[in-house]
Each structure stands twice: as structure tokens, then as C-alpha cells.
């Protein structure tokens, strides 16, 4: 990816964190949501925002629905904060990499503790 899309992705990430914490009023979207990554297409038309949320699968799906419902508001607020001709369309996706990493870590610890017992 080029330098400009990377810079824009970082700016979008920074601004979205602030907006989600302070401006989004949807009860499904709370402070326990973290943005793990933002990827912007080369033509700057789409931004994929990867989120993770601590809690049950249902709570994660509800948070995703809440962000989808707030997509227009978030995009309009980004247009006020960023100096871009057009703000990318936001696409929200769940990022399960943290849970996957914790699962792998648990399996490795289980294997290591099994080796010590022998």
C-alpha cells in the first residue's frame, strides 16, 4: 500500500476512536469497543474498519449493528474533521484475531503443562 492511504487510515482510526467514545449515542456501542486496524483502498473510496469488543458473540454482533447504524453519522463527522475531498465509505468488520491468539496461547500452555507432568 502507498504512503498516503496508510496516513489516511491512521487519521481515520484516530478520529473514529474519539467519535465512538464521545459522540455515538447508540447503547449497543459502548467504550469497550476497540479499533484494531483500518485499511483504505488505493483510490480512497472505501475504508474497512476492524473492531474488537470484549464480551459474548451476541454483544459483538450488536456492537457491529450499532456501528453500521451510525455509519452515516460517523462519515459526516469525519468529513468535518479530516481535510479530504471525499471521505471513504466505512465498512465495519469484526476482528477475531485477539480471541484467536488467546485460544492459541491457552493451547500452548496446556501442551507445556502436559510436558512438565511427564
Number of domains comprising the chain = 1
Q: Answer positive or negative: Cα dihedral of 40, 13, 97, 30.
A: negative
**Phi, psi dihedral angles at 3 (to 5 degrees):** -70, -45
Q: Is the pLDDT of residue 117 over 80?
A: no
Tens digit of each residue's pLDDT (9 = 90 or more) over 6-43: 899 999 999 999 998 888 888 888 867 889 999 999 99
| Residues 109 and 102 sit within 8 Å (Cβ to Cβ) | no
| Spatial separation of the C-alpha atoms in residues 63 and 32, rounded to whole Å | 10
| Residues 40 and 9 sit within 8 Å (Cβ to Cβ) | yes
CB atoms within 10 A of CB 35: 18
- Helix, strand, coil shares of the chain, percent, nearest 5, are 55, 20, 25
Q: Taking CA 9 as the corner, what is the angle to CA 84 and CA 70, rounded to the nearest 5 degrees? A: 80
Tens digit of each residue's pLDDT (9 = 90 or more) over 86-106: 899 999 999 877 778 888 888
Nearest alpha carbon to residue 68 among 18, 26, 13 = 26
CATH at 80:
3.30.300.20
Q: What is the pLDDT of residue 1?
A: 44
Range of the domain at 67: 3-117
Amino acid at each position: 500500500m502507498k504512503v498516503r492511504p496508510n496516513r489516511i487510515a491512521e487519521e481515520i482510526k484516530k478520529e473514529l476512536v474519539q467519535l465512538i467514545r464521545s459522540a455515538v449515542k447508540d447503547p449497543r456501542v459502548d467504550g469497550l469497543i476497540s479499533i484494531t486496524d483500518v485499511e483504505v483502498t488505493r483510490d480512497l473510496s472505501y475504508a474497512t474498519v476492524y473492531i474488537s469488543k470484549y464480551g459474548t458473540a451476541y454483544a459483538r454482533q450488536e456492537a457491529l449493528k450499532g456501528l453500521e447504524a451510525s455509519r452515516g453519522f460517523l462519515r459526516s463527522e469525519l468529513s468535518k474533521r479530516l481535510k479530504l475531498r471525499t471521505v471513504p465509505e466505512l465498512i465495519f468488520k469484526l476482528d477475531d484475531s485477539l480471541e484467536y491468539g488467546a485460544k492459541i496461547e491457552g493451547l500452548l500452555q496446556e501442551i507445556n503443562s502436559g510436558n512438565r507432568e511427564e
